[in-house]
Chain A
Amino acid sequence: MKDLAVYIHIPFCDKKCYYCDFTSFSGLDKRIEEYIEYLLLEMDLYRETLKEYNIKTIFLGGGTPSYIDGSYIVKIIRTLFEKYNCSLVEEITIEANPGTLDREKLMQYREAGVNRISLGVQTLNDQLLKSIGRLHTAAEAIENIKLIRELGFSNINVDLMFGLPDQTVADCISTLEEIVDLGVEHISYYSLILEEKTMMNRWFEEGKIRLPDEDVERDMYHEGVNFLKSRGYEHYEISNFCKPGYQCKHNLFYWTLKPYIGFGISSHSNIEGKRFCNYNTFKDYFDSIDRSKVPVLEVEDIDSHMEMAEYVIMGLRLIGGINKEDFKGRFGRALEDVYGKVIDSSMRAGLLVDDGTYVRFTDKGLDLSNMVYVDILP
C-alpha cells in the first residue's frame, strides 16, 4: 500500500480577489449543490485505483471552501472515509477566509475530522486588504483566529502576503508580529505574484498601482524570515514557517513528489507516473462524469529524466534540501551523476551548498532559485 494525498477543489468565492488566478467563481451559488454531487461521483470513478493507496492527508482548497455550507464539507469527508482507506489519515486541512467562518461551521468541521485550519489573512492592514480585493478586515481575521482556537483546533495556518502595492517593510513585520502573538502553529509568508489575467496585473501594466521595488521586496522577505526565526518558527520551505513538528504534511507530498490526487474542476493529480489536470469548466467537468469518464483535460507523461528534474526542483524548495541518499534510493543514480555540473557551478556562484548528506540552497540561492532550476530542467 502506498501513501496518497487527496486534494479537493471548492471553486466558489464570495468575491474574487484582485490577484487571484485560481479557478473560482462568485455569484454561482446555485451550482454548489450540483457540484458537490459530481465531486462525489468523480471520486467513485477512481475507486479501483485508490484501492492501492492509503490516504494520509486531505486538503480542501479553493476558491473558499469555508464559503459553502458546512454540511457539504462533512459530506465530502464522510464519503472519503466510507469508500477509501482512510484509517491512517493524519491531517485534514480546510482553507477558510475570515468573514466566512462561524462557530457552527467550525463545529461541523471538527465533527468531520478536520484538524487543521488554513486562514487567508494576507495582511492586517485594512487599507491593503481593501486594495487587493479582500472582503474582511484585520479585526475579523483576528476574531476568527481566536474563535478557531476556542473551538479546539490545535493546528492553525495563516497565509500572509508581502510585496503588496505601497506596502512597507515595517508594515510586513507588524502584521507578522500580531499573528505570531496569536500563537498560530504555521505561517505561509509569500511574495505577491502578478499573474497574467488578473485585475492587479492589468492595473500594474496600466501604471495604476505601484509595487515595491526588488530590493525592498527582498528586504520584506529576509526581515520576515529573520523575525519568524527569532520567534521560534522553523523556516522549512521557501515561503513556509512552522513551530517544531507542525510542517504541513499535505504540502510535503508535493515537495517530495509523492503521489497525490485532486478532485474537482481544474485540480491536478500526480499518480501512477502521470500528471494530469481536470477540466476547468463546470460543463466539461459535468459532461465527462455523466459519461462515466474521468474528467481529465490534459495528461502529461513524466519520464524518468523529467521526474528527476521535478524532484530536484520541488525538493530544493525545502530549506533542508534534498537528501542525496533519498535521491539515490528513488532513482538508482547518484544526484551528482545526474546534476553534478549544475550543482558545481551553482555552488561556485554561492547558490547551493552540499554538506555531504544534503544539497540545499544558500540564503542567496533562495532568492535566485530559478537560475538553478533553469539548468536543472531537461
Chain B
Amino acid sequence: MQDIKQENIRNFCIIAHIDHGKSTLADRLIEKTGMLTSREMQNQVLDSMELERERGITIKLKSIRLNYKDEDGEEYILNLIDTPGHVDFNYEVSRSLAACEGALLVVDATQGVEAQTLANVYLAIDQDLEIVPVINKIDLPSARPEEIKQEIENIIGIDASEAPLISAKDGINIDAVLKEIVSKIPAPKGNKEAPLKALIFDSYYDSYKGVVAFIRVFEGTLKPGMNIRMMSTNKSYEVTEVGVTTSKHIPVDRLEAGDVGYVVASIKNVKDARVGDTITDDDNPTAEPLPGYKKVVPMVYCGIYPAEGEDFNAVRDALEKLQVNDASLVFEPENSAALGFGFRCGFLGLLHMEIIQERLEREFDLNIVTTAPSVIYRVKTKSGEMLSIQNPTSLPDETEIEYMEEPIVDSSIMTPTDYVGPIMELCQSRRGVFKGMEYLEETRVVLKYDLPLNEVIYDFFDALKSKSRGFASLDYELKGYQQSDLVKLDILINGDLVDALSIIVHRDKAYERGRKIAEKLKDEIPRHLFAIPIQAAIGSKIIARETVKALRKDVLAKCYGGDISRKKKLLEKQKEGKKRMRQIGSVNVPQEAFLSVLKYDE
C-alpha cells in the first residue's frame, strides 16, 4: 500500500433518499477509480444483502477505499462510508457520519428533497460535515435540475450553484463528482503520535476471524499486536489484523489518524464492538472517548413463534446468528397459550422488525408466526411501582393500575401540498397533535405532529403512502412518554382468550379495532363443525362479536375409479392446510389470522 499523506485523504458518505440513486452513484465512483474490474463489478456492490437489493435500501453500512489520481497526477485516498437510509437506523447513520468530514447529498432531479434526506442532512450538518450537493438522474426527460438546485438552497440553505449534474445510471459527469470531493471536502486532521482514538461505525461477525469492526482513526496509530480497549465496556483485546477494504479486505501494517479501515481482535460478539464505541490503546489510553456513544435500545417489540412447534430450536439458532451481526436485535424466550414456545423480540423500529422477519423466512427457511408489534408502555401501579410493559399479556389487572404512559414521537411528514388534507386527517385519526406546518416551497410542506408510537407502528407508513399516492415521507424520533387512557383489548375465539391476539390500544380506538379484528378473523377462520363466536373484549366487557357459521358441506360429490388419485390429492392438500393451523381450544386457526391484527385496511 503506497503511503499517502493525511492531507490527501477524504472521508465521505452519501446521503440520499431511497431510490434517489445512492448505490448506483457509489458503483460509478468505484468503477471510475478502477477499484474493481468490470468483471468483478456487480451492480451496487455496497448493498450486499439480497434483501437490501430487493428493497433498494441499505441496512448494514460498510466502507470502501477508492484510489483517485487527479488531472495533475496527485494521488488521493477516498474513503466512501455507506450509511443506512431509514429512520429506524438514525443512530447508525449518525455514527457513520461522525466518521466523515463531508457528505455527498444526492438529490433526484425529478423529485427534489425528501423528508428522509432532510433529516440526514441535518444530522450531517450537526456533525459539521461539508455538504456537497449532486443532482442525479438528469437523463430523465422530467428532470428539472435548476429548480432542484433552487430547492436545495431554499430548503437546506447550502450553496448548490456548483452542484454537478449527473446521471449515475448512464455514468454521466462522474469525474465532476470526484473533483468536488477532493476540492470541497476537508482532509482529516489528527495526530498520529497521540493516544489512540478510533470510532467504530460498523461491525460484523466473520466465522474465521471473529468480529470485524469498521473504524475511523481520529488520533494515534493502530497496529497488529497492540492491546486495545473498548471504552464503553473496558474490555481488552489483542489486535490480530488491521486493514482497508477495497473489493475485499486488504491487511495493512498500520492505520493512522485520518484513516478508515477495519480491525480484527478475536472479538467473539458484535455486542463487544458496539457501533459508536471508542477504541483506545490499552497500554496508553486516551482520557476521553469520542462523543456521541449511545447504547441502542429497542423501540418496538413483537412475538416471533415457530409455525410448527418443533422448530423452536431452529428459530433460536437463527435469531442468535442474526444477533451476532446485529447488536440492536434483542430476544428472549416466551410462552403463549395460543402459539406455544417462541420469542419476544425487540427492534429499533418497524422496518428493522420486518427485515428480521423476512430474513428468518428467507435465509433460514423458517415458517414463523408474528404477533402484533407493541411499544414499551410504562405502568404506574397502585402499589407505587413503575413497570415497563412490552407484551400486552403482562399488563397487570386494570384495578391495579394507577395510570399508564405511552411513548410519543416527534414526527415530520413531508408532502406535496395536494395531500395535506388527507394526511392531516390521517394524523388526527391516529391521535396526532398538530405542531405546525412549514412551507418548503410553494408546492411542498412539512407537517409536524406529535404522534403516539403505537399508532405509528400500526400500519401508519402504508396508510401515509396510500393517502399521498406514495409521495409523502415520514421521519420521527422519540420525544418522551405521556400519560394516556390505554386499555388491553382481548380477543376470544369460541370463548377462549387468545393471548397472542391481545393488544394495548387507546380506549377511544378500542371499539373500532375490536370490530375490525373480529371481522377479519371471521373471514380468516375456516368454518368448523360448529359455529364459532369471535369476540373482542375489554376486561369482561364484550365490545364486538362475529360468528363463523358452522360448516355444512365438505364432501366430494363424485368419486369413481378415475377420480381416486385426484381426489386424494385434494384431500392431502386439505390435510396439509389443517396441519399448518394452530389449535386453539377446539378451533383450528390459520396463521394468517394472527396477521389480521396488524393491518388497518382503510
Is this pair of chains taken from one and the same complex?
Answer: yes
Asked whether any CB of chain A lies closer than 8 Å to the CB of B564, the reply is yes
Q: How far is the CA of A218 from the CA of B527 in the complex (A)?
A: 15
Interface residues of B in 503-556 (CB under 8 A from A): 529, 551-556
Binds B, one of A24-32, A71-79, A100-108, A262-270: A262-270
Closest to A240 in B: B558
Take A300-B565, A377-B572 as given contacts and tell me if A371 and B558 are in contact as well, using a CB distance cutoff of 8 Å. Answer: no
Q: How far is the CA of A185 from the CA of B562 in the complex (A)?
A: 24
Asked whether any CB of chain B lies closer than 8 Å to the CB of A254, the reply is yes
Take A349-B529, A374-B571 as given contacts and tell me if A366 and B555 are in contact as well, using a CB distance cutoff of 8 Å. Answer: yes
Interface residues of A in 203-236 (CB under 8 A from B): 214-215, 217-218
Contact with B along A246-281 (1 / 0, CB 8 A): 000001011000001010001111100001010000
Asked whether any CB of chain B lies closer than 8 Å to the CB of A370, the reply is yes
Q: How far is the CA of A269 from the CA of B554 in the complex (A)?
A: 27
B529 in contact with A268 (CB, 8 Å): no
Tell me how many residues of B have a C-beta within 8 Å of chain A. 21
B572 in contact with A277 (CB, 8 Å): no
Q: How far is the CA of A268 from the CA of B564 in the complex (A)?
A: 9
Take A218-B553, A368-B555, A377-B571 as given contacts and tell me if A310 and B561 are in contact as well, using a CB distance cutoff of 8 Å. Answer: no
Question: Measured between C-beta atoms, what is the minimum distance from A15 to chain B in Å?
Answer: 21
Interface residues of A in 53-111 (CB under 8 A from B): none
Instruction: Please indicate the chain A residues that have their CB under 8 angstroms from the CB of B564 in the complex.
Output: 254, 268, 270, 275, 310, 314
Take A239-B558, A260-B561 as given contacts and tell me if A368 and B529 are in contact as well, using a CB distance cutoff of 8 Å. Answer: yes
Take A368-B529, A373-B571, A374-B575 as given contacts and tell me if A268 and B556 are in contact as well, using a CB distance cutoff of 8 Å. Answer: no
Take A217-B553, A218-B552 as given contacts and tell me if A370 and B561 are in contact as well, using a CB distance cutoff of 8 Å. Answer: no
Closest to A253 in B: B561
Q: How far is the CA of A266 from the CA of B529 in the complex (A)?
A: 37
A377 in contact with B562 (CB, 8 Å): no
Contact with B along A307-344 (1 / 0, CB 8 A): 00010011001000000000000000000000000000
Q: How far is the CA of A368 from the CA of B529 in the complex (A)?
A: 8
Take A218-B552, A268-B565, A310-B564 as given contacts and tell me if A370 and B574 are in contact as well, using a CB distance cutoff of 8 Å. Answer: yes
A7 in contact with B561 (CB, 8 Å): yes
Question: Measured between C-beta atoms, what is the minimum distance from A188 to chain B in Å?
Answer: 8
Question: Measured between C-beta atoms, what is the minimum distance from A279 to chain B in Å?
Answer: 14
Q: How far is the CA of A87 from the CA of B565 in the complex (A)?
A: 31
Interface residues of A in 1-45 (CB under 8 A from B): 5, 7
B559 in contact with A317 (CB, 8 Å): yes
Closest to A267 in B: B562
Q: How far is the CA of A5 from the CA of B396 in the complex (A)?
A: 70
Instruction: Please indicate the chain A residues that have their CB under 8 angstroms from the CB of B560 in the complex.
Output: 251, 254
A214 in contact with B572 (CB, 8 Å): no
Take A374-B574, A374-B578, A377-B571 as given contacts and tell me if A367 and B555 are in contact as well, using a CB distance cutoff of 8 Å. Answer: yes
Interface residues of A in 107-160 (CB under 8 A from B): none
Instruction: Please indicate the chain A residues that have their CB under 8 angstroms from the CB of B39 in the complex.
Output: none
Question: Measured between C-beta atoms, what is the minimum distance from B63 to chain A in Å?
Answer: 53
- Point out which of B556, B561, B578 has the most chain A C-beta atoms below 10 A from its C-beta: B561
B553 in contact with A214 (CB, 8 Å): yes
Asked whether any CB of chain A lies closer than 8 Å to the CB of B469, the reply is no
B561 in contact with A268 (CB, 8 Å): yes
Q: How far is the CA of A373 from the CA of B578 in the complex (A)?
A: 12
- Point out which of B555, B559, B560 has the most chain A C-beta atoms below 10 A from its C-beta: B555
Asked whether any CB of chain B lies closer than 8 Å to the CB of A359, the reply is no
Contact with A along B123-139 (1 / 0, CB 8 A): 00000000000000000
Contact with B along A184-197 (1 / 0, CB 8 A): 00000011110000
Q: How far is the CA of A377 from the CA of B574 in the complex (A)?
A: 11
Instruction: Please indicate the chain A residues that have their CB under 8 angstroms from the CB of B551 in the complex.
Output: 368, 371
Instruction: Please indicate the chain B residues that have their CB under 8 angstroms from the CB of A277 in the complex.
Output: 562, 565
Question: Measured between C-beta atoms, what is the minimum distance from A342 to chain B in Å?
Answer: 12
Question: Measured between C-beta atoms, what is the minimum distance from A280 to chain B in Å?
Answer: 11
Contact partner of A254 (CB less than 8 A), chosen from B553, B561, B571, B574, is: B561
Asked whether any CB of chain B lies closer than 8 Å to the CB of A369, the reply is yes
Asked whether any CB of chain B lies closer than 8 Å to the CB of A238, the reply is yes
Asked whether any CB of chain A lies closer than 8 Å to the CB of B568, the reply is yes
Closest to A268 in B: B562
Instruction: Please indicate the chain A residues that have their CB under 8 angstroms from the CB of B558 in the complex.
Output: 190, 193, 239
Instruction: Please indicate the chain B residues that have their CB under 8 angstroms from the CB of A7 in the complex.
Output: 561-562
Instruction: Please indicate the chain A residues that have their CB under 8 angstroms from the CB of B574 in the complex.
Output: 370, 374
Closest to B577 in A: A374
Question: Measured between C-beta atoms, what is the minimum distance from B517 to chain A in Å?
Answer: 25
A367 in contact with B553 (CB, 8 Å): yes
Question: Measured between C-beta atoms, what is the minimum distance from A240 to chain B in Å?
Answer: 10
Closest to A374 in B: B575
Asked whether any CB of chain A lies closer than 8 Å to the CB of B557, the reply is yes
Q: How far is the CA of A373 from the CA of B561 in the complex (A)?
A: 17
Contact partner of B552 (CB less than 8 A), chosen from A214, A238, A260, A373, is: A214
Question: Measured between C-beta atoms, what is the minimum distance from B358 to chain A in Å?
Answer: 30
A239 in contact with B557 (CB, 8 Å): yes
Contact with B along A288-311 (1 / 0, CB 8 A): 000000000000100000000010
Interface residues of B in 563-583 (CB under 8 A from A): 564-565, 568, 571-572, 574-575, 578
Instruction: Please indicate the chain A residues that have their CB under 8 angstroms from the CB of B559 in the complex.
Output: 254, 314, 317
Contact partner of A371 (CB less than 8 A), chosen from B529, B561, B562, is: B529
B553 in contact with A275 (CB, 8 Å): no
Instruction: Please indicate the chain B residues that have their CB under 8 angstroms from the CB of A214 in the complex.
Output: 552-553
Question: Measured between C-beta atoms, what is the minimum distance from B564 to chain A in Å?
Answer: 7
A368 in contact with B553 (CB, 8 Å): yes
Question: Measured between C-beta atoms, what is the minimum distance from A58 to chain B in Å?
Answer: 13
Q: How far is the CA of A374 from the CA of B572 in the complex (A)?
A: 7
A262 in contact with B561 (CB, 8 Å): yes
Q: How far is the CA of A371 from the CA of B553 in the complex (A)?
A: 10
Interface residues of B in 73-93 (CB under 8 A from A): none
Question: Measured between C-beta atoms, what is the minimum distance from A183 to chain B in Å?
Answer: 24
Closest to B528 in A: A371
Question: Measured between C-beta atoms, what is the minimum distance from B567 to chain A in Å?
Answer: 8
A369 in contact with B556 (CB, 8 Å): yes
Closest to B567 in A: A313
B555 in contact with A238 (CB, 8 Å): yes
Q: How far is the CA of A373 from the CA of B575 in the complex (A)?
A: 9
Instruction: Please indicate the chain B residues that have their CB under 8 angstroms from the CB of A190 in the complex.
Output: 557-558
Instruction: Please indicate the chain A residues that have their CB under 8 angstroms from the CB of B552 in the complex.
Output: 214-215, 218, 367-368
- Point out which of A192, A218, A254 has the most chain B C-beta atoms below 10 A from its C-beta: A254
Instruction: Please indicate the chain B residues that have their CB under 8 angstroms from the CB of A377 in the complex.
Output: 568, 571-572, 575
Closest to B530 in A: A349
Question: Measured between C-beta atoms, what is the minimum distance from B102 to chain A in Å?
Answer: 58
A370 in contact with B555 (CB, 8 Å): yes
Question: Measured between C-beta atoms, what is the minimum distance from A5 to chain B in Å?
Answer: 8
B556 in contact with A370 (CB, 8 Å): yes
Instruction: Please indicate the chain B residues that have their CB under 8 angstroms from the CB of A374 in the complex.
Output: 571, 574-575, 578
Instruction: Please indicate the chain B residues that have their CB under 8 angstroms from the CB of A254 in the complex.
Output: 559-561, 564
Q: How far is the CA of A310 from the CA of B569 in the complex (A)?
A: 12
Question: Measured between C-beta atoms, what is the minimum distance from B305 to chain A in Å?
Answer: 24
A369 in contact with B565 (CB, 8 Å): no
Q: How far is the CA of A268 from the CA of B560 in the complex (A)?
A: 10
Closest to A218 in B: B552
Q: How far is the CA of A15 from the CA of B578 in the complex (A)?
A: 39
Q: How far is the CA of A138 from the CA of B574 in the complex (A)?
A: 38
Closest to A251 in B: B560
Knowing that A215-B552, A370-B555 are A-B contacts, what are 18 other residue pairs whose CB atoms are under 8 Å apart, sorted by A's residue number?
A7-B562, A191-B555, A191-B557, A214-B553, A218-B553, A238-B555, A254-B559, A267-B562, A300-B565, A310-B564, A310-B568, A368-B551, A368-B552, A368-B553, A370-B571, A370-B574, A371-B554, A377-B572
* Interface residues of A, Cβ cutoff 8 Å to B: 5, 7, 190-193, 214-215, 217-218, 238-239, 251, 253-254, 260, 262, 266-270, 275, 277, 300, 310, 313-314, 317, 349-351, 366-371, 373-375, 377
15 A/B residue pairs, CB under 8 Å, sorted by A: A218-B552, A254-B560, A277-B562, A300-B565, A310-B564, A314-B559, A317-B559, A351-B529, A368-B552, A368-B554, A369-B556, A370-B574, A371-B554, A374-B578, A375-B575
Q: Can you list the 4 inter-chain pairs with the closest CB atoms, starting with the nearest? A: A191-B557, A268-B562, A370-B554, A254-B561
